[in-house]
Amino acid sequence: MIIPIRMISIATTIFWLILIGFYASAVYSVKDIHFGFEDPQVGMASENNMLISLSINVDNKGYYNIGSFQTSTKIHDKEGFMITQGSTLIPVIEKGRQVTAFHNVTVNVSDLMQNNQEYLFNDAELKVHEIVGMELAEIIPVQASTNFSVPWGAPLYNFTLDEIKYEAHNLTHTTANFSLSFENHAFFSLDGSIQIYLYSSTNVLISEGQTTIEASQQTPCQKCVELIVPTAGITEDGHVEVFLSTIFLKIGPLVFPFD
Protein backbone atom coordinates (compact mmCIF):
# COMPACT_ATOMS: atom_id res chain seq x y z
CA MET A 1 0.00 0.00 0.00
CA ILE A 2 1.40 3.37 -1.01
CA ILE A 3 0.63 6.34 1.24
CA PRO A 4 0.47 9.61 -0.68
CA ILE A 5 3.19 12.12 0.14
CA ARG A 6 0.52 14.72 0.91
CA MET A 7 -0.98 12.50 3.63
CA ILE A 8 2.49 11.97 5.17
CA SER A 9 3.01 15.74 5.20
CA ILE A 10 -0.34 16.31 6.90
CA ALA A 11 0.38 13.60 9.49
CA THR A 12 3.80 15.09 10.20
CA THR A 13 2.27 18.54 10.62
CA ILE A 14 -0.35 17.19 13.01
CA PHE A 15 2.35 15.35 14.99
CA TRP A 16 4.41 18.50 15.38
CA LEU A 17 1.37 20.55 16.36
CA ILE A 18 0.51 18.01 19.04
CA LEU A 19 4.11 17.94 20.25
CA ILE A 20 4.36 21.73 20.34
CA GLY A 21 1.02 21.94 22.13
CA PHE A 22 2.15 19.35 24.68
CA TYR A 23 5.46 21.15 25.23
CA ALA A 24 3.71 24.52 25.59
CA SER A 25 1.16 23.17 28.07
CA ALA A 26 3.88 21.41 30.08
CA VAL A 27 5.94 24.59 30.27
CA TYR A 28 2.85 26.67 31.03
CA SER A 29 1.98 24.35 33.91
CA VAL A 30 5.20 25.42 35.68
CA LYS A 31 3.27 28.36 37.10
CA ASP A 32 1.16 25.87 39.06
CA ILE A 33 4.15 24.07 40.57
CA HIS A 34 5.18 25.55 43.89
CA PHE A 35 8.20 24.53 45.92
CA GLY A 36 10.12 26.08 48.74
CA PHE A 37 12.63 25.47 51.51
CA GLU A 38 12.08 25.98 55.19
CA ASP A 39 14.87 27.63 57.17
CA PRO A 40 17.79 25.18 57.44
CA GLN A 41 18.10 23.36 60.76
CA VAL A 42 21.62 22.75 62.08
CA GLY A 43 22.53 20.10 64.62
CA MET A 44 24.93 17.27 65.36
CA ALA A 45 24.18 13.95 63.65
CA SER A 46 26.92 11.96 65.36
CA GLU A 47 30.44 12.41 66.69
CA ASN A 48 32.22 15.09 64.64
CA ASN A 49 29.38 15.32 62.08
CA MET A 50 27.26 18.45 61.75
CA LEU A 51 23.89 17.91 60.06
CA ILE A 52 22.30 20.64 57.92
CA SER A 53 18.69 19.67 57.21
CA LEU A 54 16.42 21.42 54.69
CA SER A 55 12.70 20.74 54.53
CA ILE A 56 11.49 20.78 50.89
CA ASN A 57 7.80 21.39 50.14
CA VAL A 58 6.58 20.65 46.60
CA ASP A 59 2.97 21.30 45.56
CA ASN A 60 2.32 20.00 42.03
CA LYS A 61 -0.87 21.69 40.82
CA GLY A 62 0.29 21.43 37.21
CA TYR A 63 -1.19 19.34 34.41
CA TYR A 64 1.44 16.62 34.48
CA ASN A 65 3.57 14.53 36.80
CA ILE A 66 6.99 15.80 37.81
CA GLY A 67 9.84 13.35 37.28
CA SER A 68 13.29 13.20 38.90
CA PHE A 69 12.83 16.12 41.31
CA GLN A 70 16.38 16.48 42.66
CA THR A 71 17.88 18.88 45.14
CA SER A 72 21.67 19.19 45.20
CA THR A 73 23.66 21.15 47.76
CA LYS A 74 27.27 22.28 47.76
CA ILE A 75 28.72 23.97 50.83
CA HIS A 76 31.83 26.15 50.50
CA ASP A 77 33.99 28.13 52.87
CA LYS A 78 34.60 31.84 52.34
CA GLU A 79 37.56 31.11 50.04
CA GLY A 80 35.31 29.01 47.79
CA PHE A 81 36.74 25.64 48.81
CA MET A 82 34.03 22.98 48.76
CA ILE A 83 33.52 21.46 52.20
CA THR A 84 30.83 18.92 51.37
CA GLN A 85 27.99 18.14 48.99
CA GLY A 86 24.86 16.01 48.89
CA SER A 87 21.66 15.42 46.94
CA THR A 88 18.12 14.15 47.45
CA LEU A 89 15.95 12.62 44.71
CA ILE A 90 12.17 12.29 44.57
CA PRO A 91 11.51 9.98 41.58
CA VAL A 92 7.94 11.08 40.79
CA ILE A 93 5.57 13.73 42.13
CA GLU A 94 2.14 13.04 40.70
CA LYS A 95 -0.07 15.88 39.52
CA GLY A 96 -2.32 17.18 42.26
CA ARG A 97 0.01 15.87 44.98
CA GLN A 98 1.86 17.78 47.68
CA VAL A 99 5.10 16.25 48.94
CA THR A 100 7.43 17.16 51.80
CA ALA A 101 10.93 15.71 51.86
CA PHE A 102 14.03 16.32 53.97
CA HIS A 103 17.32 17.06 52.30
CA ASN A 104 20.26 16.39 54.61
CA VAL A 105 23.94 17.29 54.20
CA THR A 106 26.63 16.40 56.72
CA VAL A 107 29.85 18.28 57.47
CA ASN A 108 32.73 16.74 59.40
CA VAL A 109 33.33 19.43 62.02
CA SER A 110 36.72 18.14 63.15
CA ASP A 111 38.03 18.04 59.58
CA LEU A 112 36.65 21.53 58.96
CA MET A 113 38.43 23.04 61.95
CA GLN A 114 41.63 21.02 61.63
CA ASN A 115 41.98 22.25 58.01
CA ASN A 116 41.16 25.84 58.94
CA GLN A 117 41.39 26.77 62.62
CA GLU A 118 39.62 30.06 61.89
CA TYR A 119 36.36 28.12 62.28
CA LEU A 120 37.45 27.06 65.76
CA PHE A 121 38.18 30.57 67.02
CA ASN A 122 36.15 32.96 64.82
CA ASP A 123 32.50 33.24 63.81
CA ALA A 124 31.93 32.95 60.07
CA GLU A 125 29.42 31.98 57.39
CA LEU A 126 29.28 28.87 55.25
CA LYS A 127 28.20 29.49 51.67
CA VAL A 128 25.48 27.20 50.33
CA HIS A 129 24.79 26.68 46.61
CA GLU A 130 21.43 25.02 46.02
CA ILE A 131 20.36 23.49 42.68
CA VAL A 132 16.86 22.19 41.99
CA GLY A 133 16.21 20.12 38.88
CA MET A 134 13.09 18.35 37.60
CA GLU A 135 11.51 16.88 34.49
CA LEU A 136 8.18 18.42 33.52
CA ALA A 137 5.76 15.71 32.42
CA GLU A 138 8.70 13.40 33.24
CA ILE A 139 10.32 14.48 29.94
CA ILE A 140 11.28 18.17 29.79
CA PRO A 141 14.29 19.08 32.00
CA VAL A 142 14.14 22.30 34.04
CA GLN A 143 16.73 23.61 36.52
CA ALA A 144 16.99 26.52 38.94
CA SER A 145 19.58 27.52 41.53
CA THR A 146 20.05 29.85 44.46
CA ASN A 147 22.71 30.84 46.99
CA PHE A 148 22.43 31.53 50.69
CA SER A 149 24.58 31.40 53.83
CA VAL A 150 24.49 29.39 57.03
CA PRO A 151 25.95 31.13 60.11
CA TRP A 152 28.83 29.40 61.87
CA GLY A 153 29.53 30.05 65.55
CA ALA A 154 33.06 29.35 66.79
CA PRO A 155 33.15 26.92 69.74
CA LEU A 156 36.34 28.51 71.15
CA TYR A 157 35.68 32.13 70.31
CA ASN A 158 38.30 34.48 71.77
CA PHE A 159 40.27 31.59 73.26
CA THR A 160 42.92 33.00 75.60
CA LEU A 161 45.71 31.52 77.73
CA ASP A 162 46.82 33.93 80.43
CA GLU A 163 50.45 34.45 81.42
CA ILE A 164 51.97 31.54 83.35
CA LYS A 165 52.81 32.35 86.97
CA TYR A 166 55.24 30.19 88.91
CA GLU A 167 55.16 29.44 92.65
CA ALA A 168 57.49 27.25 94.69
CA HIS A 169 56.06 23.79 95.36
CA ASN A 170 58.97 22.00 97.02
CA LEU A 171 62.75 21.81 96.70
CA THR A 172 62.66 20.25 93.23
CA HIS A 173 59.33 21.28 91.70
CA THR A 174 57.40 24.43 90.94
CA THR A 175 53.68 25.07 90.45
CA ALA A 176 52.76 26.68 87.11
CA ASN A 177 49.41 28.53 87.28
CA PHE A 178 47.47 30.05 84.42
CA SER A 179 43.87 30.33 83.26
CA LEU A 180 42.19 29.69 79.94
CA SER A 181 38.98 31.32 78.75
CA PHE A 182 36.71 31.34 75.72
CA GLU A 183 33.10 31.84 74.63
CA ASN A 184 31.11 29.02 73.07
CA HIS A 185 29.35 30.50 70.04
CA ALA A 186 28.64 27.06 68.53
CA PHE A 187 25.18 25.55 68.08
CA PHE A 188 26.15 22.70 70.42
CA SER A 189 27.33 22.54 74.03
CA LEU A 190 30.94 21.84 74.94
CA ASP A 191 30.93 19.29 77.74
CA GLY A 192 34.12 17.31 78.10
CA SER A 193 37.76 17.82 78.94
CA ILE A 194 40.84 19.76 77.90
CA GLN A 195 44.22 18.01 78.04
CA ILE A 196 47.19 20.37 78.42
CA TYR A 197 50.88 19.69 77.72
CA LEU A 198 53.61 22.15 78.72
CA TYR A 199 56.85 22.17 76.68
CA SER A 200 60.13 23.97 77.28
CA SER A 201 61.98 26.06 74.71
CA THR A 202 63.81 22.89 73.63
CA ASN A 203 60.49 21.11 72.96
CA VAL A 204 60.88 18.87 76.01
CA LEU A 205 57.59 17.92 77.73
CA ILE A 206 57.91 19.16 81.31
CA SER A 207 54.35 18.74 82.59
CA GLU A 208 50.81 17.79 81.64
CA GLY A 209 47.37 18.08 83.14
CA GLN A 210 43.65 17.97 82.47
CA THR A 211 40.60 20.02 83.33
CA THR A 212 36.90 19.55 82.63
CA ILE A 213 34.77 22.09 80.77
CA GLU A 214 31.04 22.74 80.66
CA ALA A 215 30.06 25.47 78.23
CA SER A 216 26.50 25.72 76.97
CA GLN A 217 25.65 27.52 73.74
CA GLN A 218 26.42 31.25 73.78
CA THR A 219 28.07 31.13 77.21
CA PRO A 220 31.60 32.03 78.41
CA CYS A 221 33.92 29.57 80.11
CA GLN A 222 36.99 30.20 82.27
CA LYS A 223 39.14 27.52 83.89
CA CYS A 224 42.17 27.72 86.17
CA VAL A 225 44.97 25.29 85.39
CA GLU A 226 47.65 24.17 87.81
CA LEU A 227 50.63 22.10 86.68
CA ILE A 228 53.54 20.74 88.72
CA VAL A 229 56.81 21.12 86.80
CA PRO A 230 60.43 20.25 87.65
CA THR A 231 62.16 23.49 88.56
CA ALA A 232 65.22 22.54 86.54
CA GLY A 233 63.13 22.15 83.40
CA ILE A 234 61.58 25.64 83.39
CA THR A 235 62.65 27.94 80.55
CA GLU A 236 61.74 31.54 79.77
CA ASP A 237 59.74 30.56 76.72
CA GLY A 238 58.14 27.45 75.24
CA HIS A 239 54.70 26.39 74.16
CA VAL A 240 51.48 24.80 75.37
CA GLU A 241 49.60 22.12 73.44
CA VAL A 242 45.86 21.81 74.02
CA PHE A 243 43.61 18.87 73.11
CA LEU A 244 39.85 19.30 73.31
CA SER A 245 37.61 16.26 73.74
CA THR A 246 33.80 16.42 73.97
CA ILE A 247 30.92 14.18 72.96
CA PHE A 248 30.70 15.76 69.51
CA LEU A 249 34.15 17.18 68.97
CA LYS A 250 37.78 16.11 69.22
CA ILE A 251 40.41 18.70 68.29
CA GLY A 252 44.15 19.00 68.81
CA PRO A 253 46.87 19.74 69.19
CA LEU A 254 46.28 23.48 69.39
CA VAL A 255 49.68 25.13 69.91
CA PHE A 256 50.10 28.34 71.92
CA PRO A 257 53.59 29.80 72.44
CA PHE A 258 54.49 31.62 75.66
CA ASP A 259 57.41 33.76 76.76
**30 in any annotated domain:** no
Mean pLDDT score of the chain, rounded to an integer?
78
Query: Quick check: is 59 in a domain?
Result: yes
The answer as to whether 102 is a domain residue is yes
Cα gap 220→51, rounded to integer Å: 24
Q: Nearest-CA neighbor of 113 among 228, 242, 210?
A: 242
Q: H or E element: which one contains 220?
A: strand 219-230
- What total number of domains does the chain contain? 2
- CA–CA dist 221, 209 (Å, integer): 18
Residue at 90 is within a domain: yes
The whole-number average pLDDT for the span 20-42 is 61
Residue 135 and residue 173 in one domain: no
Residues 238, 253 within the same domain: yes
Same-domain pairing of 113 and 90: yes
Work out the number of other CB atoms within 10 angstroms of the CB of residue 8. 10
Examine the domain organization and report whether 44 and 148 are in the same domain.
Answer: yes
202 within some domain: yes
Q: Which amino acid is at 95?
A: K
Same domain, yes or no: 215 and 175? yes
Question: Are residues 48 and 134 both part of a single domain?
Answer: yes
Confidence of residue 2 (pLDDT cuts 50, 70, 90): very low
Start-to-end CA span in the chain (Å): 102
Cβ contacts of 114 within 8 Å, gap of 6 or more: 251
Closest CA to 84 of 3, 140, 150: 150
Residue 11 resides in a domain: no
Rounded to an integer, the average pLDDT of 101-107 is 81
Do 119 and 169 fall into the same domain?
A: no
Look at residue 22 and tell me if it is in a domain. Answer: no
Same domain, 206 and 246: yes
Last residue of a domain, one of 152, 185, 204: 152
pLDDT of residue 15: 40
**CA-CA distance, 141 to 138, in Å (whole number)?**
8
Instruction: Return the percentage of the chain with pLDDT > 90, whole number.
Output: 7
**Is pTM, for the whole model, over 0.75?**
no
CB 120 within 8 A of CB 153: no
- Taking the C-alpha atoms of residue 77 and residue 114, their distance in angstroms, rounded to an integer, is 14
pLDDT of residue 43: 72
pLDDT (tens digit, 9 = 90+) per residue, 129-165? 888 877 776 667 777 777 878 788 888 999 888 888 8
> What CATH number does the domain containing 220 carry?
2.60.40.10
Q: What is the mean pLDDT of residues 57-67?
A: 76
Identify the domain boundary among 102, 122, 152. 152
- Taking 90 as the threshold, does the pLDDT of residue 197 lie above it? yes
Which residue from 103, 176, 168, 88 is spatially nearest to 134, judged by alpha carbons? 88
- Contact between 115 and 108 (Cβ < 8 Å): no
CB contact burial 36-47 (16+ within 10 A = b; e otherwise): eeeebebebeee
Residue 136 lies in a domain: yes
**Could you tell me the pLDDT band of residue 169, with boundaries at 50, 70 and 90?**
confident
Residues 80 and 119 in one domain: yes
**128 and 182 co-located in one domain:** no
Range of the domain at 188: 157-258
Domain boundary among 100, 120, 152: 152
**176 and 145 fall within a common domain:** no
Identify whether residues 45 and 78 lie together within a single domain.
yes
Q: Which of 149, 153, 84 is nearest to 118 (CA)?
A: 153
Q: What is the longest distance spanned by two Cα atoms in the chain?
A: 117
